[in-house]
Structure 1
Amino acid sequence: MELWPGAWMVVLLLFLLLLFVLPTLWFCSPSAKYFFKIAFYNGWILFLAVLAIPVCAVRGRNVENMKILRLMLLHVKYLYGIRVEVRGAHHFPPSQPYVIVSNHQSSLDLLGMMEVLPGRCVPIAKRELLWAGSAGLACWLAGVIFIDRKRTGDAISVMSEVAQTLLPQDVRVWVFPEGTRNHNGSMLPFKRGAFHLAVQAQVPIVPIVMSSYQDFYCKKERRFTSGRCQVRVLPPVPTEGLTPDDVPALADTVRHSMLTIFREISTDGRGGGDYLKKPGGVGDARL
């Protein structure tokens, strides 16, 4: 099928229009820049997943494939001018399974996660991610554990199965106990699945805190610039001898320690200092 001559002119005019409009929006509209950056972030991850799939497929579904995904994603922070500073990495237990619990702010958590992710560690993610095109397939090949949060019985069953395989397979798991992304600069109440998992397997809990992104990223304000993020690994919390009855207190204790560190590292010049002074921020007395 050939285009008639006038159609080529229309295509050319549209191309020239885009060539002019896109740079104009980029430099003149912070909101447009925000959407461009988010679109590229998601698109680039999907593209990297396409490249990773054939490499990971050689092993099949295997937790060791997470090393490949990590290697391919480590550069993304440089594309956005985000400096990730890790402290406390020596707190990771050297040679045993454990459960990592981390705060969850946005999809940018992926950058901090890849920076500090230990060996043989996979995230527990919502089942919807499995259907996210190439990213879902790459995650499945890397051994990511998917749960259906809408079906409590299934989620409990998956957690129980994971608990039984942590020790025999020497696997660590990464859980976001808030259960969903939290954009308000604080921490939501923790769901207790990760803590039941650790108690059932009698393995330590390693809390990880990522500082607020508010100085460089804010979904509500449509703002996405360069900035710095601190990732703090806290000392492991033992669970030996604990029972399911101890889980509520355990979850509350871990959340309190994480929230304390979150406030500290989000006000030391490495993320969200000004935001924390606003009503509703983590520094607000109403918390």
Structure 2
Amino acid sequence: MRTALVVFLYGLIVILIIPFLLLCFLFGIRKPLLSLGKWAMGVGKKILGLEVEIAGLENFDPAGSYVFMANHLSFLDGPLLFYVIPQPIRVFIKKEVFRLPVVGLGMKHVHFIPVDRKRLRGGRRSLDRAARLMKERGYSFLIFPEGTRSRDGRLQDFRRGGFFLALETAAAVVPVSIIGTYELMPRGQFHVRPGKIRVIFHQPVSVLGYNKDSVDQLIARVRSQIASALPE
């Protein structure tokens, strides 16, 4: 019932947002649209009965440019981090989502990045675009280095793409540990159980001194920090 209510609410917001979206397009503004997204995520959190405990926000500068990297347990993870990270982050989203009416246009306008998971060249192009936006506009990006949601709730192997983005832009990596979303909405489940979630932001990891040849060492360091806060 709670999940259905959130779906209805977001559908209503999409309809009502059209005039606002047109104004954002007309004047080339993005922050109000991102703020509206954060507000919608906050409303959804309350309706779904999610209690979120956050730790470590003092570990990074909200005005800085970072690559946030988190473990991926549930469909809830992306919206949750979009809501709790205290800056207007950008994210990578599979390209099919951009075909949705209104929503796709809004995501494109705020510089979310479409990803073609089936083509290696498409992934490289997406990373290049993200790097350009980080350098030119000072954006931060959220990445799930496992590449997909965990099937059993355990931390999986990390892919290299997001780390190459950090190396290309010299942006520090902020490791993030998410605890609890797997129990509330595991992969394959379409409703959300109410409950508690913990989000822990670790100290940023500088990429200075690392390069493409030593990227595996960087990956191991970030993965170790994320794993350190997860249940055994």
Query: Could you tell me how far apart the structure 2 residues matched to 1:38 and 1:170 are?
Result: 35
Find out whether 1:242 has 2:207 as its counterpart: no
Is the 2:56–2:202 contact (alpha carbons within 8 Å) kept by the matching residues of 1? yes
TM-score, normalising length: structure 2: 0.87
TM-score, normalising length: structure 1: 0.71
Find out whether 1:54 has 2:19 as its counterpart: yes
Give the 3-state SS of the residue equivalent to 1:143 in structure 2: coil
Query: Could you tell me how far apart the structure 1 residues matched to 2:187 and 2:102 are?
Result: 25
156-165 vs 229-238, which moves further: 156-165
Partner of 2:50: 82
In the TM superposition, residue 236 of structure 1 has moved relative to its aligned partner by: 0.5
Instruction: Tell me which amino acid in the other structure corresponds to 1:56.
Output: L
Partner of 1:139: 107
Q: Which runs of 5+ in 1 are unaligned?
A: 1-35, 264-282
Query: Could you tell me how far apart the structure 2 residues matched to 1:210 and 1:128 are?
Result: 26
Aligned residues: 229
Give the 3-state SS of the residue equivalent to 1:253 in structure 2: helix
* 1:116-172 per-position Cα deviation (integer Å, ceiling 9, x unaligned): 123231111111211234432332232211111211112112212321331221111
Q: Which runs of 5+ in 2 are unaligned?
A: none
Query: Could you tell me how far apart the structure 1 residues matched to 2:191 and 2:15 are?
Result: 29
1:158 to 126, 131, 135: 126
Query: Could you tell me how far apart the structure 1 residues matched to 2:19 and 2:78 are?
Result: 22
Find out whether 1:227 has 2:195 as its counterpart: yes
* 1:29-70 per-position Cα deviation (integer Å, ceiling 9, x unaligned): xxxxxxx54444444333323333432332226552312211
Higher relative contact order (CA 8 A, sep 6+): 2
Query: Could you tell me how far apart the structure 2 residues matched to 1:234 and 1:146 are?
Result: 27
Q: In the superposition, relative to structure 1, how do residues 57 and 205 fare at CA in structure 2: closer, same or farther (>3 Å)? A: farther
Structure number with larger C-alpha Rg: 1
Find out whether 1:208 has 2:185 as its counterpart: no
Query: Could you tell me how far apart the structure 1 residues matched to 2:123 and 2:182 are?
Result: 32
Partner of 1:127: 95
Give the 3-state SS of the residue equivalent to 1:138 in structure 2: helix
Instruction: Tell me which amino acid in the other structure corresponds to 2:178.
Output: M
Query: Could you tell me how far apart the structure 2 residues matched to 1:104 and 1:132 are?
Result: 24
Identical aligned pairs, as a percentage? 24
188-197 vs 138-147, which moves further: 138-147
